[in-house]
Structure 1
Amino acid sequence: MSEHRHGHSCEGEHQHDESPEMGVQYSLYMKIDKENMECLNEAAENSGKDVFKPWEERLNFEKFVESDCDEELLFNIPFTGNIKLKGIIVVGANNDSHPAKMKLFKNRPKMTFDEAAVKADQEFEMQRDTTGRLEYSTKVVTFSSVHHLSIYFPKNFSDGEESTQIYYIGLKGEFSEAHRHGVTICNYEAWASPSDHKVDQGDTVSRMIQ
């Protein structure tokens, strides 16, 4: 039985029930723009991308990300559209390399470690999870329109003595295509401007200023 007790939850953590629907709920990894995603302080290049994988592979520990010079890891995750983030699952090892704290930031592309030191949109004190049964529930109102998500793990359970290792990060929520009609509107207005009669109005304003 998991060591997590529901009564301890103050930041939205809870255990979920196993069901075939979990694979569908945690499918946002397919909407990540992996070409432009980055993980800062990863020991092996591009290893941070490997932890965003299908729910069914969450317990495949052959691929993982490990921090390099200290215990910090920072993921900058762009999406191919907008997401409504509802929950996160983080699988680590049953030792002190497991991350102990998680901070979430929305719509702040290319964050650095210095920038991640500010107050997060939401943060969690974490518990060790080796099976993917502990879900951290996000504030849906806050994370209802996210095109970029930064996940910062500032420490693990070793007090800086070990690197941080993560095997799986699952993102639960809804996806919607990005709206691009704004460009069309701008083009329309640009073409329409010469044909309207705002030139006279502009002259009038100039004379009033003088």
Structure 2
Amino acid sequence: MASNAGPTPSNFIVVNNDQLDVELANAGNKPVIVDFTAKWCGPCRRIAPVFEQLPTQFPGAVFLKCDVEDNAQSSAKYGIRAMPTFVFFRSKAKIDEFRGAKMPDLKLKVEKWLESEANGEQAEDKSKSYMDLVKLIDKSSIECLNQCNDHDIEACLTNDDRYMESDCDEQLIINIGFIQNVKVHSLKITGPEGFVPKTVKIFVNEIKTLDFDTAERSEPVQELNLTKDDVGEDVVIPLRFVKFQNVSSVTLFVKDNQGMEDTTRIGHLAFIGSPVNTTKMGEFKRISGKKGESH
């Protein structure tokens, strides 16, 4: 619990019973900082008073305290190997982390990260031009490894009754290029329950399409761990927008699906964002604005 004499701030929560993902979901799109700590850890005890002062200083963020022994599954899921470790989240996605008990460094890290988050939110609020980027996809660049010939990648790029499906197993590598550089704000992924993707590693601007071994061992720009609540036509999956500002291509490595099915199916895959070259926005709207046009 917080060590200050006053009441515990509402944005400071002690996580119990491996409910970390629940608390991350409850935070919505607020920035979240999680202190992975341990009762027996001396450095954790030393830095705890500093961490417990932060919720009062930054009321727009959520601060979670997560004991690694009381929350063993959550700690394992997010790869905690040393304490204290402070992990930064936004919209349930892991953004960054800080290890160690250097108090000034932690406070500076938090201040810089929350300032960056605030600036990003302001920039996003100014932009109301996010759209489905399907019209900017370069058809000649589309490639999908391990797709079923009868249900290929192009079937899921439009929102209709068709779907794409993997072939030999549940994994897919999807490469999509764009005719001009874009900013990608979020994704939409739909599919039948159980067959829809679960773990998705996202890479950008790869020179050539990754193979499965390379995708498995490479560090992505962002990794998604999707649940049934994240996949649906009315649901957008937010990305680390700052990492997707000048994108010429996106590669998705679908590692598994939510039901451990033999194959993975995607009903609709959409990239939501805007062109980088805003001077062409009017031209883009005129081209794509006619109802009923196909891509």
Same fold (TM over 0.5): yes
Using the TM superposition, name which of 24-33 and 67-76 deviates more.
Answer: 24-33
Give the match for residue 85 of structure 2. Answer: none
Give the match for residue 158 of structure 1. Answer: 259
Call closer, same or farther: CA 1:163–1:87 in 2, change over 3 Å.
Answer: same
Counterparts of 1:73 and 1:11, CA distance in 2:
26
Q: SS of the counterpart of 1:134?
A: coil
1:84-103 to structure 2, matched below 5 A, reads 84-94=183-193, 96-103=194-201
Gap runs ≥5 in structure 1: 15-23, 178-210
Q: SS of the counterpart of 1:163?
A: coil
Give the match for residue 140 of structure 1. Answer: 241
Task: Check the 8 A contact 2:174/2:253 in 1, yes or no.
Answer: yes
Residue 146 of structure 1 aligns with an amino acid whose one-letter code is V
Which 4+ stretches in 1 moved above 6 angstroms? Answer: none
Normalising by structure 2, report the TM-score: 0.49
For residues 24-83 of structure 1, give each alpha carbon's deviation from its aligned partner in whole angstroms, at most 9, with x where no partner exists.
Answer: 733201111112210110011671022112xxxx3x22x111000000011111111101
Call closer, same or farther: CA 1:131–1:141 in 2, change over 3 Å.
Answer: closer
Task: Check the 8 A contact 1:104/1:149 in 2, yes or no.
Answer: yes
Residue 203 of structure 2 aligns with an amino acid whose one-letter code is F
Q: SS of the counterpart of 2:153?
A: helix
Task: Check the 8 A contact 1:89/1:170 in 2, yes or no.
Answer: yes
Give the match for residue 208 of structure 1. Answer: none
Give the match for residue 127 of structure 1. Answer: 227
Gap runs ≥5 in structure 2: 1-21, 29-88, 94-128, 278-295
Q: Does 1:106 align with 2:204?
A: yes
Give the match for residue 26 of structure 2. Answer: 7
Counterparts of 1:82 and 1:33, CA distance in 2:
11
Normalising by structure 1, report the TM-score: 0.67
Task: Check the 8 A contact 1:39/1:74 in 2, yes or no.
Answer: yes
Using the TM superposition, name which of 85-94 and 108-117 deviates more.
Answer: 108-117
Give the match for residue 110 of structure 2. Answer: none
Is the helix fraction higher in 1 or 2? 2
1:1-210 to structure 2, matched below 5 A, reads 6-7=25-26, 10=89, 12=91, 25-44=130-149, 47-53=152-158, 58=159, 60-61=160-161, 63-94=162-193, 96-108=194-206, 109-117=208-216, 118-128=218-228, 131-159=232-260, 161-176=261-276
- CA-based RMSD: 2.4
Counterparts of 2:272 and 2:92, CA distance in 1:
13
Task: Check the 8 A contact 1:103/1:153 in 2, yes or no.
Answer: yes
Counterparts of 2:231 and 2:251, CA distance in 1:
22
The percent identity for this pair of structures is 25
Counterparts of 1:11 and 1:68, CA distance in 2:
34
For residues 70-121 of structure 1, give each alpha carbon's deviation from its aligned partner in whole angstroms, at most 9, with x where no partner exists.
Answer: 0001111111110111000100112x21111111101013121122111110
Residue 101 of structure 1 aligns with an amino acid whose one-letter code is T
Counterparts of 1:6 and 1:133, CA distance in 2:
17
Using the TM superposition, name which of 120-129 and 37-46 deviates more.
Answer: 37-46
Counterparts of 2:150 and 2:163, CA distance in 1:
11
Task: Check the 8 A contact 1:41/1:72 in 2, yes or no.
Answer: yes
The number of residues matched between the two structures is 157
Counterparts of 2:200 and 2:139, CA distance in 1:
21
